[in-house]
């Protein structure tokens, strides 16, 4: 079985697959090289930002399985893959790691941690430069109440926060059970934006969520509110967010994901309007970049490859699309 690894995964997993299979590794190749390599691949393993669009899939004549090491599928033409009989399976990253990063970003904005750290390094003792915002007693709105949203809600309870959520499938039994256990109220999206002190975006990107957080919804938020996005960049309209932050219509924001990554303007890293704002905190798509999360995903990828190679069911090993 010919395996093609197009993205960096846990090194021990890569080494194991190379020992046990006909496995080729080419990290983030240019389109021409990617199409050439795909021609012989039966299994391909990808993460963002590698795209498996129509052109790529049409070059993959022997492809049988796509393993997405992560949850986002916006870079894969899933309908085309399925129409050609290609199995697509996603291996979600650690909900713990992403949820912890979400809370970390929220605290960074509310307590101005990056700015105060920078001031100290520049020789300034800014003890009285402004007051922070505590989390306790505030209302947190979760856009997305899947694995990550539920884990974030569990962490937020330790801060004694009130919890709201909006989800596309709140009727699912495990979500209803989690909401009841954590005292989470499901609300329509506009009501959640209007009623929350903090909003965490943790939803994937598809045609129903692209541009979901636009100027209209940002205008619904309290002027004292904070927005955090660890879902996908395309969910938030960055221009509208910049205008709201710069105009004082929103207290702060933090993002781990962006419409275009790496984050740049005209190809120059750091040259982005949001990065000029003191009430904005950014990280470079690292919410799941922990040793623990990456090791687990690597182990899961290896299990899927072995199950597929021996004709076993993939159910329970990831999310079969």
Active-site residue, selected from the candidate residues 47, 101, 151, 232: 232
Does 65 share its domain with 175? no
What does the alpha-carbon distance between residue 161 and residue 180 come to, in Å, rounded to a whole number?
Answer: 15
Does 190 share its domain with 306? no
* pLDDT 10s digits, 37-84: 999 999 999 997 799 999 999 999 999 999 999 877 888 999 999 999
Q: Coil, helix or strand for 234? A: helix
Does 111 share its domain with 208? yes
Active-site residue, selected from the candidate residues 12, 58, 126, 261: 261
Does 196 share its domain with 233? yes
184 forms beta bridges with: 163
Active-site residue, selected from the candidate residues 285, 295, 299, 306: 285
Does 200 share its domain with 217? yes
Does 200 share its domain with 297? no
* pLDDT 10s digits, 155-172: 999 999 999 999 999 999
Range of the domain at 297: 2-93+291-320
- Which parts of the chain fold into alpha helices (H)? 11-20, 31-38, 54-59, 78-83, 95-110, 113-121, 147-158, 173-182, 189-195, 215-220, 238-246, 291-309
What are the φ/ψ torsions at residue 155 (nearest 5 degrees)? -65, -40
pTM: 0.86
What does the alpha-carbon distance between residue 72 and residue 202 come to, in Å, rounded to a whole number?
Answer: 11
Active site residue 285: yes
Does 126 share its domain with 50? no
Average pLDDT for consecutive 10-residue bins of the chain (321 residues)?
A: 95 96 95 95 92 95 94 88 95 90 98 95 93 96 96 98 96 96 97 98 87 95 97 93 96 94 64 91 93 94 96 90 84
Retrieve residue 110's tokens.
């509310």
Active site residue 261: yes
Number of domains in the chain: 2
């Amino acid at each position: 079985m010919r395996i093609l690894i197009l993205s960096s995964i846990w090194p021990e997993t890569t080494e194991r697959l190379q020992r046990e299979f006909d496995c080729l590794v080419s990290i983030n190749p240019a389109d021409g090289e990617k199409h050439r390599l795909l021609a012989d691949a039966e299994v391909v393993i990808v993460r963002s930002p590698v795209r498996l669009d129509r052109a790529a899939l049409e070059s993959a004549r022997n492809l049988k399985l796509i393993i997405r090491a992560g949850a986002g599928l916006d870079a894969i033409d899933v309908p085309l893959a399925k129409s050609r009989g290609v199995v697509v399976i996603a291996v979600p990253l650690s909900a713990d790691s992403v949820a912890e990063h979400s809370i970390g970003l929220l605290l960074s904005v509310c307590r101005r941690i990056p700015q105060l750290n920078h001031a100290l390094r520049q020789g300034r003792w800014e003890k009285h430069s402004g007051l922070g915002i505590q989390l306790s007693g505030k209302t947190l709105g979760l856009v997305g109440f899947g694995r990550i949203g539920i884990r974030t809600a569990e962490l937020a309870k330790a801060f004694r926060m009130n919890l709201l959520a909006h989800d596309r499938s709140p009727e699912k039994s495990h979500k209803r059970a989690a909401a009841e256990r954590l005292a989470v109220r499901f609300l329509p999206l506009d009501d959640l934006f209007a009623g929350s002190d903090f909003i965490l975006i943790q939803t994937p990107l598809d045609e129903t969520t692209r541009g979901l957080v636009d100027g209209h919804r940002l205008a619904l938020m309290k002027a004292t509110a904070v927005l955090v996005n660890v879902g996908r960049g395309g969910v938030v309209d960055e221009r509208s967010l910049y205008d709201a932050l710069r105009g004082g219509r929103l207290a702060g924001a933090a993002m781990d994901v962006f419409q275009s990554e790496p984050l740049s303007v005209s190809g120059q890293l750091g040259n982005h309007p949001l990065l000029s704002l003191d009430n904005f905190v950014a990280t470079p798509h690292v919410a799941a970049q922990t040793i623990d999360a990456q090791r687990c995903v690597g182990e899961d990828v290896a299990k899927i490859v072995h199950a597929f190679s021996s004709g076993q069911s993939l159910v329970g090993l990831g999310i079969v699309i």
